[in-house]
Amino acid sequence: MRFSKFGQRLTCDAGILSLMDDLGSARSEYAGEMMMMGGGNPGHVPEFQDLLRRNLQEICGDLAAFRELVGAYSPPQGDAAFIDALAELLSRQCGWPVGPENICLTNGSQTAFFMLFNLLAGVYPDGSRRKICLPLAPEYIGYADLGLCDDFFVATRPKIERIGDDLFKYHIDFDALEITPDIGAICVSRPTNPTGNVITDSEVQALDRLARTHGVPLIIDNAYGLPFPGMVYAEAAPFWNDNTVVCLSLSKLGLPAVRTGIIVARPEIVRALASMNAIMSLSPGSFGAMVTGKLFASGEVVDLSRNLIGPFYRRKMEKAVAAVRRECAGLPYRIHKPEGAMFLWLWFEGLPLSSLDFYRRLKRRGALVVSGHYFFPGLKEEWRHRQECVRVTYSQNDEDVANGIAIIGREARKAYADS
Ligand code: PLP
């Protein structure tokens, strides 16, 4: 069967698809128990899940509330009560001057990126073309296949700060970063998937100035950030103004299955997204908004993020870092300073094989990670560093993560020794 260009673009060779397929089939390729450190699934936080179950039971026990939960479309902008509560919470907690007109819900933030990127980049009515600028590569692989035309992203290689014996941190190279007239928007994830980087407040402010100077919006992907889910282990202030588009999500709070993304932007962008919601899906799902509604109305979601979700992942991060230090001692490795999210980004300097081959070896030994080379969408230049990194997810069982890291250490040691 022949598909349209649109169909082909969304079905063929998508990096994310092959990655997901590969992660999905990994279990069957290894006879023993595979240590799963590849995906982006959040962990199960028992106290949070208990709370959600109670909320859900309460809704199910109240016929009117249950009917609303399953029996009504929300407006295309999203569940109105949730949006009101969220606007209030963001104004109070973060000091952002936002009202309900600044918020749109989407079916997961991934969908929001598809809509936003193609709203702001691609082919314009006058025939000109615009791209999305990713000011710091490595960046989230989920962006890579979202553009509806070729050559959709342009990325800039970072500066590397080496910290102590075994850490490093990427910084935006503002000398190299160029916002040319063909840029439609700047986008950065903060905290960053895959590295756990949290770009500094001054980097955010500098990006904001650049974006304003060039008359393009700055998109901040806050899927792991503040004020929720709060997976931030460094000093960082939440940031928004009317030239910024902040994308939030309920996924990493522990609700990836309900597919709720949240966009905070100027009303013009919110109206555009609501219109796209209506065309693509009539309305965004309201299940997540309703199940968490009370947490947002009371502001409890902020305390939970600060005192439960954030510390849950911080403890996991610290255990994973200790395991890397134990298992990789003596090797030329560095860990990206783990400032947020749920990933360790390991850099094996001078790795004698490609990161993809290293990933395959690890998979054969029972440790599933993600090869680092995927995470450089839009970066045109050759850079050996791309082949020297892997992403390790530490959100799942601590013992499995420690076992998986032991396999990484053993295989890396072997690779260097054999070279
Ligand atoms: N942005 C980042 C940086 C992510 O890591 C993810 C998912 O892993 C998303 C966005 C998309 O999340 P969701 O569509 O579940 O809201």
Task: Give the position, in ligand 1's atom list, of the atom nearest the Cα of 113.
Answer: 10
Instruction: Dig out the tokens for 276 from the structure.
Output: 């796209």
Could you tell me if 172 and 199 are in contact, meaning their C-beta atoms sit under 8 angstroms apart? yes
Task: Give the position, in ligand 1's atom list, of the atom nearest the Cα of 249.
Answer: 16
pTM of the model: 0.97
pLDDT digits (tens, 9 = 90+) for 264-289: 999 999 999 999 999 999 999 999 99
Amino acid type, 382: E
Cα of 225 from ligand 1 centre, angstroms: 11
Q: Across-strand partners of 334? A: 347
Cα of 332 from ligand 1 centre, angstroms: 31
H-run or E-run covering 133 = strand 129-134
pLDDT attached to residue 15: 67
Could you tell me if 265 and 102 are in contact, meaning their C-beta atoms sit under 8 angstroms apart? yes
> Same CATH fold, 74-298 and 5-45+304-418?
no
Spell out the per-residue pLDDT of the chain, length 419, in tens: 899 999 988 887 666 777 777 777 777 777 788 899 988 899 999 999 999 999 999 999 999 999 999 999 999 999 999 999 999 999 999 999 999 999 999 999 999 999 999 999 999 999 999 999 999 999 999 999 999 999 999 999 999 999 999 999 999 999 999 999 999 999 999 999 999 999 999 999 999 999 999 999 999 999 999 999 999 999 999 999 999 999 999 999 999 999 999 999 999 999 999 999 999 999 999 999 999 999 999 999 999 999 999 999 999 999 999 999 999 999 999 999 999 999 999 999 999 999 999 999 999 999 999 999 999 999 999 999 999 999 999 999 999 999 999 999 999 999 999 88
Instruction: Dig out the tokens for 395 from the structure.
Output: 């959100």
Identify the architecture of domain 5-45+304-418 in CATH: Alpha-Beta Complex (3.90)
Burial of residue 310, with CB atoms counted within 10 A of its CB: 0-12 exposed, 13-18 middle, 19 or more buried: buried
Instruction: Dig out the tokens for 77 from the structure.
Output: 């902008």
Amino acid type, 127: G
**Helix intervals (H) in 61-123:** 63-71, 80-94, 109-120
- Rounded Cα distance, 193 and 375, in Å: 9
Cα of 419 from ligand 1 centre, angstroms: 37
Any idea where the domains of the chain sit in the sequence? Answer: 5-45+304-418, 74-298
Angle 398-418/355-364 helices, nearest 10 degrees? 120
Phi first, then psi, for residue 112 (nearest 5°) are -60, -40
Residue identifier of the C-alpha nearest atom 2 of ligand 1: 223
Residue identifier of the C-alpha nearest atom 1 of ligand 1: 223
Cα of 387 from ligand 1 centre, angstroms: 24
Instruction: Provide CB contacts within 8 A for 385, sequence distance 6+.
Output: 160, 347
Instruction: Dig out the tokens for 50 from the structure.
Output: 């208990």
Q: Which fold has domain 74-298?
A: Aspartate Aminotransferase; domain 2 (3.40.640)
Cα of 73 from ligand 1 centre, angstroms: 24
- What single-letter DSSP state applies at residue 340? B
pLDDT attached to residue 24: 74
Could you tell me if 102 and 254 are in contact, meaning their C-beta atoms sit under 8 angstroms apart? no
Q: Are strands 367-368 and 218-221 parallel, antiparallel or unpaired?
A: unpaired
Cα of 62 from ligand 1 centre, angstroms: 33
Distance of CA 93 to the CA centre of its chain: 22
Cα of 1 from ligand 1 centre, angstroms: 32
Cα of 61 from ligand 1 centre, angstroms: 32
H-run or E-run covering 188 = strand 183-189
Q: Hey, which of 132, 251, 264 would you mutate to test ligand 1's pocket, going by the most ligand atoms within 8 Å of its Cβ?
A: 251
Question: Using only C-alpha atoms, what is the Rg of the chain?
Answer: 21
Ligand 1 contacts (CB < 6 A) are 40, 108-110, 140, 142, 189, 193, 221, 223, 249, 251, 256, 261
Could you tell me if 229 and 377 are in contact, meaning their C-beta atoms sit under 8 angstroms apart? no
Instruction: Dig out the tokens for 399 from the structure.
Output: 């013992």
- Rounded Cα distance, 72 and 92, in Å: 30
Which residue from 364, 359, 362 is spatially nearest to 32, judged by alpha carbons?
A: 364
Could you tell me if 189 and 154 are in contact, meaning their C-beta atoms sit under 8 angstroms apart? no
pLDDT digits (tens, 9 = 90+) for 79-96: 999 999 999 999 999 999
pLDDT attached to residue 11: 83
- ipTM higher than threshold 0.85: yes
Instruction: Dig out the tokens for 198 from the structure.
Output: 């949290």
H-run or E-run covering 203 = helix 201-213
Task: Give the position, in ligand 1's atom list, of the atom nearest the Cα of 260.
Answer: 16
Task: Give the position, in ligand 1's atom list, of the atom nearest the Cα of 192.
Answer: 3
Q: Hey, which of 252, 255, 264 would you mutate to test ligand 1's pocket, going by the most ligand atoms within 8 Å of its Cβ?
A: 252
pLDDT digits (tens, 9 = 90+) for 179-201: 999 999 999 999 999 999 999 99
Phi first, then psi, for residue 188 (nearest 5°) are -145, 140
Which residue from 44, 38, 6, 1 is spatially nearest to 20, judged by alpha carbons?
A: 38
Cα of 318 from ligand 1 centre, angstroms: 23
Q: Across-strand partners of 170? A: 160
Q: Hey, which of 19, 106, 109, 343 would you mutate to test ligand 1's pocket, going by the most ligand atoms within 8 Å of its Cβ?
A: 109
- Rounded Cα distance, 253 and 17, in Å: 24
pLDDT attached to residue 93: 94
